[in-house]
Amino acid sequence: MLELPVNDTILLKQLQPEHAPALFMLINSSRKLLRKYLPWVDYNTTEEHSLRFIELMQRKADEQDAIAFGIWQDGQLCGVIDLHDWDHPLQKAEIGYWIVEAKQGKGIVTQSCKALIGYAFAALRLNKVEIRFVLQNEKSGQIPIKLGFSKEGILRQSAKLHGHYVDMVVMGMLRQDWKY
């Protein structure tokens, strides 16, 4: 199990099957908030669904296609961050993240992103990391701005959220521009 220390209180731990109960409880407790911008929430309605997600991400990690980490603060799971859609020829991947409402606005996700991006550039030798988010999700959009990402554009109606097309913002960071 891969672990990435973020600071004295935050640790990223690769999700394991034994984390499924805690992950499901976290999703369930934040369902209304998460559902606003994340379509998968409607499909994660049991602990078994959380387990299947973890097992899928473990297979993808073995195939070097994705990796998912729990965000742990003071020993408690409070969110998830992942690296997905690895494009090996272009040496790039996307980061996705979410955190429970009580932990939002405390810099936890920004610091977790910083640790994962550092790992992506140093250990995985990626050349580019992207963050994509629904245009209306202003909180999520602040994170790549704080990290110095460049806005690369808006992909119009490039995703569906609860039956409606939504625009996605694409922000990017090149290894040569990473300052941390």
The arrangement of strands across the sheet holding 150-161 comes to 3-5, 10-14, 67-73, 76-87, 92-99, 128-134, 164-174, 150-161
**Cα separations (Å) of 142 from 17, 61, 170?**
32, 28, 13
pLDDT tens digits for the chain (180 residues)?
899 999 999 999 999 999 999 999 999 999 998 888 988 888 899 999 999 999 999 999 999 999 999 999 999 999 999 999 999 999 999 999 999 989 999 999 999 999 999 999 999 999 999 999 999 999 999 999 999 999 999 999 999 998 999 999 999 999 999 988
Q: Domain-by-domain residue ranges, the chain?
A: 3-127
Report pLDDT for 152.
Answer: 97
Q: Do the Cβ atoms of 42 and 27 come closer than 8 Å?
A: no
pTM: 0.93
In the chain, which ranges are E strands? Answer: 3-5, 10-14, 67-73, 76-87, 92-99, 128-134, 150-161, 164-174
Of residues 48, 102, 36, the one with CA closest to residue 71:
102
Domain 3-127 has CATH 3.40.630.30: yes
Of residues 12, 4, 37, the one with CA closest to residue 132:
37
Report pLDDT for 180.
Answer: 80
145 CB-near residues (< 8 Å, 6+ apart): 171
**Would you call 164 helix, strand, or coil by DSSP?**
strand
Report pLDDT for 150.
Answer: 97
Three-state SS sequence of 68-116: EEEEEECCEEEEEEEEEEEECCCCEEEEEEEECHHHCCCCHHHHHHHHH
Single-letter code of the amino acid located at 41 = V
